[in-house]
Structure 1
Amino acid sequence: MANATSAPAAEDENGSSRNRQSPKLPAVLKSPAVKVFLIGFLTILLLIPTTFVWLLLEERADRAKGVAADIARSWGGTQSINGPYLAIPFTETVVSGEGEKRQRTVHHRTVVLFPERLELKGDIGVEERRKSIYSLPVYSGQMSMEGRFAAPPSGIFEPKDGGTIKIATNKAMVVVGISDVRALRSEVAIRLNNAQTVQFEPGLGVLAKHSGSGINAPIAADIWQRGFSFDLAMHLKGSSALFAAPAGQTTLVTLQSDWPHPGFTGAFLPEQRSITDSGFTANWTIPYLARGIPKTMEVDSLPLSGKLMGVKFVEPVNFYQTISRSLKYAIGFISLTFLAVFVLEMRSGWQFHWIQYGLVGCALIIFYVMLLAFAEHIGYGRAYLVAAGSATLLNAIYVGTSLKSRIAGFVIAAVLTGIFATLYALMREQDYALLIGSVIAFAAIAVTMFVTQRIDWSGLDAPRPQAHRQTV
C-alpha cells in the first residue's frame, strides 16, 4: 500500500531542501494587543498632517484678517467716541532764585470738566462688505449727544508750586475723541444753549499731547464761565465695533441697530437690552459714583480711555476660530473611528491592515481641509454638511468592502455620523464642550470594555492548523 506524503521540498544547487513559503511572523506579533499598540502609534503619527492643516488654517485666517483690515481702512475702523469734555488751559508761572540767578518757569496745565449730564443716542445700520471671498460687518449711523456743562467750581485753578496762575479764558474748547475721524460723513457742529452754533475743527486741541484723534470747538469765555447746555450730531461710519466713554457725571447711552448678533462688552454692560432677528436695542446708565472719577481732572490727554463700553457686531459664525477649536479634538475624533473599525475587525474575522487604518485616518484629516475650503465659499453650515457627508460615505464604503460586510459599513456610517454630529454640537456649544466631550469619552471607553471583553488579546489561544497525517 502506498504512503501519502507531503509535497517534496525544493532543493538548491547544493542539494539542501528549502521551504517555498516565506517564514511567518510569531503569533504574538499578530495578537490584538500588538494591533492596538500599532493603531495608537499610527494615531499619534497622524497628528503631523493635522498640524499642517492647522498651519494652513492659520494662514487663511491671517489672509482674511488682512482683507478685513483693507476694508476697514477704506470704510472706517472700530470707532470709539470719548467725550465731550470742556478743556480749559492755564499756566502757572514760578519764579525761583534771586538777582542774576533769578529764573522764571512757566508750566502749562489743563483742567478738564465733565458734563453734569450726558445722553448719547445712536441709530446704526450694519451691512457686510465683501472683497474677494472675504467679508466684514461695517456700519453707518447717526450719533447724537446732548447734555450740560456746569460753571467751573471754585478752586480748580490752584498753583502747585506757589506760582502765579493765569487762565487762558479765550482758549477753552469742547473736545470729542473719535478713533477714526476719516469716517465722519458730514460736518459736525455744536449748538450752545439752543442758540449759538460753533463748527468743530480737526484735532484734540490742548489735549493732543499723546497720540489720538478727534475734533474740537472753541467756547467763548462768557459762555463756559456760566455753564451751558449743548447738543451735537454726527454721521459716523466704522466696522466691527462701536465704543463710547461714560464722559458725563451721569451718562445715559441708547444704541439701536438692525444687526441681530451683538456682543456687548467693555467696562459697563447694558442695563436693558432686547435682541430679535431684526436687530437689537440696548440702554446703559452710568451714575457718577459708578464711574469712579472726580467731576474735574487736570490732564493733558483724553481721560476715560480705559473705561469704554459698547457693542461688537459679531459675525454669526467665525469659522476659522470654530475649525481651529475642532482641530483640538482631532486625536479623539480619529481614535474613536479607529476603535470602531478595530472592534468590527475582531468580530468579522477579516484582517484590516494598519495601512488601511492610515488611509481611514487620512480621509478624516482631509475632512478638515474640505471644511475650510468650502466654508470660505458657501458658509460654515453647508460646508460642514458636505465635508462630513463625504468623509462618512467614503470611509463607510471602504471599511465595509474591506471587511466583506455590509453591516460593518453601516456601523461605521452610524459611528461617523454620531461623531460628526457630536463635533458640530461641541463647536456650537463652546461653554459645554468639556462636559460633552468627557461624557462621550467615558461612554466610548465603557462600550469598548464590554464589546472587547471576549477578545483574546494575546492571540495564543487561536486554533492551530492540524498537521498532515500519513496513511498506510
Structure 2
Amino acid sequence: MTSDTDLNSSDAPSGRQPPAGRSLAFFNSPAAKLVLIGFVTLMLMVPSTFVWVLIEERADRARDVAVDIAKSWGGVQAVNGPYLVVPFSETRVTGSGNKARTEIHQRTAVLFPKKLEVAGDITVEERRKSIYSLPVYKGRFNLKGAFARPPEAMFEPRHGGTIDVAADKAVLVIGIGDVTALKSEVVLALDGVQAIPFEPGLGLLSRNASDTVRSLQSSGINAAVPAPKWRNGFSFNIPLQLNGSTAFYVAPAGQTTKVALQSDWPHPGFTGTFLPETRTISDTGFEADWTIPYLARGTPGVQETDQLPLQDKLLGVKFVDPVNFYQTISRSLKYAIGFISLTFLAVFVLEMRTGWRFHWIQYGLVGLALIIFYVMLLAFAEHAGYGPAYLIAAAAATVLNAVYVGTSLKSRTAGLTMLLVLAVIFSVLFALMQEQDYALLIGSAIAFISLAATMFVTQKIDWSGRTVPMTA
C-alpha cells in the first residue's frame, strides 16, 4: 500500500524543485534584480525633471537681473552709419482743365559713404547685482571716412513729374542701439574744419528690429550738413563714447568698410554676417580687423528708402561668459540617466561579487544622492563659480555613496571600488561638459566601453537564478 507521501514524491521529477520554488527563484534572480534596478532608474527621471525646472527658473532670474543691469548701464550696441539722407519731392500734374490735380510725392534718398573706417577700444568689466553678474563695457570709437559727390541719377522723377530737392534739409544719420548710453556729446567734423553737433533721432528714417539685434531700440542721432558740402562731397570724423553690454555690432556702411576693434576681454565671440579677416586672442584681450568691399556687401551705394539700411548685415563681437553654468548644468542633466545607470551597474556587479544583498530601496537612495549632486552644483556655482562648485558637489556625492555602498555590502574593497568608479564617472562628466563639440563622440565611446566591461564582468553570473540540481 502506497502512502500519500510516496505518491507526492513519485509525482515530482527527481532532482527538480516544484513550480512554486522555480517562481520564487526567478524573483530572486539577478535578471529580475536588474529589471527592478532599471525601473528605479526610470523613476529617478522624475526628480531630475524637477531639478531641470529649478535650473531654468534660476537662469530666467539671472536673465532678468542682466536686463536690469543693461537698462541702467547700456544694452547691446550697434553703430549703423553714417548715411547722408536727402529729402526731395516729385510734383506731378494729372488730368487737364477743370480735372487737373497736382500730386506731390515725398521721397528720401540715402547715400552711403565712399569709404568708412571704424576703430574701437573696448574696456570690459563685470557688473554684479546680488549674486548675478553681466559683462558690460566702455567703448571709445571713431568713425572716419568720406562721401563722394552724389551721382546725377540720385534724384530722378519716377512718375514723370518735376523734382524739388530740399538741399537745406540734408542730414547725416547714425543708428545707435541705445543712445541713452552715450557718455559724451557727439560732434561731426566736416573736412577737418567745421564742427556740427548731432541731434537726437534718425531724422526721416525709421528702424525695424532685425533678427540679429532684435533687442535694439529704434534710436539714433543726426546732424545737419550744409548743401555746398554734401553736393561736392566731404570727409568726416565722428568720435563716440558708448557704454554697452553683452555685444557690440557695426554695419558695413561704406562702399569699402574697415573695422578694427581691440579689447581687454579674453573670451570674444565673433558673430554677424562677416567674420574678421585677422584676429589675435590672448589672456589679456583680443584684436580683430574686418575689411568688407563694396561687392561683398551686396547693397548699392545709393538707395531710396525711409528705413535705416543694412540692419540685417551687421558684424560684431559678443563678450562671452566663459562658463555659462546654467546652460552647462542643464546640458549635463541630459546625461543623468546614463550617469545613474553606470553607478547602479557598478553597485550591481559589486553586489554579485560580494554575495551581500543590496535592496532596491538602497539603489534609490544612491540615485537620489546623485540627483542632489545637481542641486548642490547649481547652488554652489551661483556663489563660487562652476569649477569649485563641481569639485565640492562631486566630492560630496562620491564620498557619501562610496561609504554607503561599502558599509551596506560589508566590504571595504567594495567601498573603495565605488569611490574609484564614481571619481571616474564625475571626471568624465566634467570633461563632457567642457568639450561640447566632442560630447557625442566621447559619450558613445564610454557607452561602448561600459557595455563591454559589463558583458565580461557578468559573464559567470547565473541570470536565471536556478538552484543546483538535487541528487536522487
Instruction: State TM-score, norm by structure 1.
Output: 0.92
Quote the offset at 1:100 in angstroms. Answer: 3.4
Moved more, 390-399 or 293-302: 293-302
Tell me the distance in 2 between the aligned counterparts of 1:26 and 1:310: 69
Q: Tell me, yes or no, if structure 1 residue 67 matches structure 2 residue 65.
A: yes
Partner deviation per Cα, 1:360-392 (whole Å, 9 max, x = no partner)? 000000000000000000000000000000000
- Whether contact under 8 Å (2:78, 2:176) holds in the other structure is yes
- Kindly provide the amino acid, as one letter, of the partner of residue 173 in structure 1: V
Given the superposition, is the C-alpha separation of residues 396 and 25 from structure 1 closer, same or farther in structure 2, using an over 3 Å criterion?
farther
Aligned residues with identical type, % of pairs: 66
Corresponding residue for 2:380?
Answer: 374
Corresponding residue for 1:460?
Answer: 466
Tell me the distance in 2 between the aligned counterparts of 1:54 and 1:263: 27
Tell me the distance in 2 between the aligned counterparts of 1:364 and 1:163: 78
Corresponding residue for 1:237?
Answer: 243
Moved more, 37-46 or 157-166: 157-166
Tell me the distance in 2 between the aligned counterparts of 1:407 and 1:372: 32
- Residue correspondence of structure 1 range 354-393 to structure 2 within 5 A: 354-393=360-399
Tell me the distance in 2 between the aligned counterparts of 1:189 and 1:233: 7
Tell me the distance in 1 between the aligned counterparts of 2:395 and 2:115: 59
**Residue of 434, 437, 449 corresponding to 1:443:** 449
- Whether contact under 8 Å (2:22, 2:466) holds in the other structure is no
Quote the offset at 1:278 in angstroms. Answer: 0.6
Tell me the distance in 1 between the aligned counterparts of 2:448 and 2:76: 45
Given the superposition, is the C-alpha separation of residues 400 and 102 from structure 1 closer, same or farther in structure 2, using an over 3 Å criterion?
same
Quote the offset at 1:96 in angstroms. Answer: 1.8
Moved more, 289-298 or 223-232: 289-298
Q: Tell me, yes or no, if structure 1 residue 320 matches structure 2 residue 329.
A: no
Q: Tell me, yes or no, if structure 1 residue 193 matches structure 2 residue 191.
A: yes
Quote the offset at 1:462 in angstroms. Answer: 5.1
**Residue of 387, 399, 403 corresponding to 1:397:** 403
Tell me the distance in 2 between the aligned counterparts of 1:327 and 1:335: 13
Q: Tell me, yes or no, if structure 1 residue 108 matches structure 2 residue 106.
A: yes
Tell me the distance in 2 between the aligned counterparts of 1:330 and 1:41: 15
Given the superposition, is the C-alpha separation of residues 254 and 449 from structure 1 closer, same or farther in structure 2, using an over 3 Å criterion?
same
Q: Tell me, yes or no, if structure 1 residue 259 matches structure 2 residue 257.
A: no
Corresponding residue for 1:16?
Answer: none
Structure 2 residue matching 1:453: 3-state secondary structure: coil
Structure 1 residue matching 2:370: 3-state secondary structure: helix
Quote the offset at 1:99 in angstroms. Answer: 3.2
Aligned residues: 444
Corresponding residue for 1:470?
Answer: none
Quote the offset at 1:93 in angstroms. Answer: 1.7
Quote the offset at 1:131 in angstroms. Answer: 0.2
Q: Tell me, yes or no, if structure 1 residue 173 matches structure 2 residue 171.
A: yes
Tell me the distance in 1 between the aligned counterparts of 2:94 and 2:415: 95
Corresponding residue for 1:125?
Answer: 123
Q: Tell me, yes or no, if structure 1 residue 340 matches structure 2 residue 339.
A: no
Quote the offset at 1:103 in angstroms. Answer: 2.3
Tell me the distance in 2 between the aligned counterparts of 1:24 and 1:318: 55
Q: Tell me, yes or no, if structure 1 residue 413 matches structure 2 residue 419.
A: yes
Corresponding residue for 2:135?
Answer: 137
Tell me the distance in 1 between the aligned counterparts of 2:102 and 2:249: 44
* Deviating 4+ runs (over 6 angstroms): none
Partner deviation per Cα, 1:314-361 (whole Å, 9 max, x = no partner)? 011000000010000000000000000001101110000000000000
**RMSD across aligned positions (CA):** 1.5
Partner deviation per Cα, 1:104-137 (whole Å, 9 max, x = no partner)? 2221111111111100000010000000000000
Corresponding residue for 2:39?
Answer: 41
Moved more, 305-314 or 210-219: 210-219
Structure 2 residue matching 1:414: 3-state secondary structure: helix
Tell me the distance in 2 between the aligned counterparts of 1:437 and 1:462: 41
- Kindly provide the amino acid, as one letter, of the partner of residue 33 in structure 1: A
Structure 2: segments with no counterpart, 5+ residues:
1-20, 210-217
Corresponding residue for 1:18?
Answer: none
Tell me the distance in 2 between the aligned counterparts of 1:199 and 1:317: 42
Tell me the distance in 2 between the aligned counterparts of 1:424 and 1:400: 25
Quote the offset at 1:98 in angstroms. Answer: 2.7
Corresponding residue for 1:285?
Answer: 291
Tell me the distance in 1 between the aligned counterparts of 2:202 and 2:274: 25
Corresponding residue for 1:99?
Answer: 97
Corresponding residue for 1:13?
Answer: none
Quote the offset at 1:207 in angstroms. Answer: 0.9
Moved more, 293-302 or 379-388: 293-302
Tell me the distance in 2 between the aligned counterparts of 1:161 and 1:220: 28
Quote the offset at 1:81 in angstroms. Answer: 0.5
Tell me the distance in 1 between the aligned counterparts of 2:240 and 2:437: 39
- Kindly provide the amino acid, as one letter, of the partner of residue 288 in structure 2: A
Quote the offset at 1:161 in angstroms. Answer: 1.4
Q: Tell me, yes or no, if structure 1 residue 221 matches structure 2 residue 227.
A: yes
Corresponding residue for 1:422?
Answer: 428
- Kindly provide the amino acid, as one letter, of the partner of residue 425 in structure 2: I
Tell me the distance in 2 between the aligned counterparts of 1:379 and 1:251: 40
- Kindly provide the amino acid, as one letter, of the partner of residue 276 in structure 1: S
Given the superposition, is the C-alpha separation of residues 462 and 105 from structure 1 closer, same or farther in structure 2, using an over 3 Å criterion?
farther
Tell me the distance in 2 between the aligned counterparts of 1:289 and 1:209: 24
Partner deviation per Cα, 1:389-439 (whole Å, 9 max, x = no partner)? 000000000000000011111111111111110110010000000000000
Tell me the distance in 1 between the aligned counterparts of 2:188 and 2:347: 73
Quote the offset at 1:51 in angstroms. Answer: 0.3
**Residue of 294, 297, 300 corresponding to 1:294:** 300
- Kindly provide the amino acid, as one letter, of the partner of residue 204 in structure 2: V
- Residue correspondence of structure 1 range 9-20 to structure 2 within 5 A: none
- Kindly provide the amino acid, as one letter, of the partner of residue 326 in structure 1: S
Partner deviation per Cα, 1:130-186 (whole Å, 9 max, x = no partner)? 000000000001110100000001111111111211111001110000010000000
Quote the offset at 1:24 in angstroms. Answer: 11
Structure 1: segments with no counterpart, 5+ residues:
1-22, 468-472
- Whether contact under 8 Å (2:207, 2:308) holds in the other structure is no
Q: Tell me, yes or no, if structure 1 residue 153 matches structure 2 residue 151.
A: yes
Tell me the distance in 1 between the aligned counterparts of 2:208 and 2:171: 17
